[in-house]
Amino acid sequence: MLRNLKITLEMIKIEHTLFALPFAFLGAVLAAQGLPSLNRIFWIIAAMVGARSAAMAFNRLVDRKYDAENPRTSTRAIPAGMLSVQFVALFTIASTVLFFTAALMLNRLTLILSPVALGSVLLYSYTKRFTPLSHLVLGWCLSISPTGAWIAVRGAIDSPVPLLLSLAVMLWTAGFDIIYACQDYEYDVRAGLRSIPQRFGIARALRISRALHALMFLALLWIYFLTGLHWIGLLGIIATAALLIHQHTLVRPDDLSKLNAAFFTTNAFVSVILFVTVAADIFLIK
């Protein structure tokens, strides 16, 4: 059981929770205009881990046929025979229970909206079968985290700030997911799966990704002026823009060899830098 759990956590890339968790913390800190209670922070983390774990495990279940056919993903746990379908299904159910328990412990509105959040992250697994806009659906899934955390703290959406932050997360996620999908271009074409690179080609897909990240930067500037942040918050936004520009210099239509550095390393820094700088702005200046 412990071995299966270890392999499952590796399979769902539990460490990549780092992409979305800082944005949840950012939504919580902005909502509280400071540090939320430790109890609330604990259940926000539990909700994030539960939702993401359920989504990733479910994705591996429903995509196991495609994973087995794709040389890049054929070594994943289920097609490689390291985990059974039954075990991953049980893990998905356990993660779902954790998510709903956390929503219940936060407040009434988080519980009411929790089926929408979970339904969204599970639906994503099917989107590549029928729409090239799956990247935006994934962006929507991650964008739930800051607004969800805001609701967890305040019990209501009483400001445009969390919605703008969610918009920024959606644009950011869709942009980097398009880059990531470029490496599966040939397989997606053969298998009939939909994506922006499959629909428009890699060169145009990378241009679309750049446009989405430019819009994300504008959304962050809007948040900056709306919230009255100071120089530390602005510094974080500028650093984010620099990281996004760097990300796009690492990939070219004829050279995707640095794609993993562009996707994993750069994007992990984006969420952390934004959280640290905006939180520092709130704690040290306001």
Token pair 């800051």: residue: 146
* pLDDT value for 234: 95
Q: Is 285 helix (H, G, I), strand (E, B) or coil?
A: coil
pLDDT, position 98:
97
Single-letter amino acid, residue 257: S
Q: Around Cβ 35, how many Cβ atoms within 10 Å?
A: 14
Q: What is the CATH number of the domain that holds 204?
A: 1.10.357.140
* pTM for this prediction: 0.91
Number of domains in the chain: 1
- Residue 16: the pLDDT is 67
Q: How many CB atoms lie within 10 A of CB 79?
A: 19
pLDDT at 258: 85
- All residue ranges of the chain with pLDDT < 50 are none
- Provide the domain limits for residue 139: 2-284
Residue 128: partners with Cβ closer than 8 Å, 6 or more residues away: 134, 188, 193, 194, 195
pLDDT of residue 15: 64
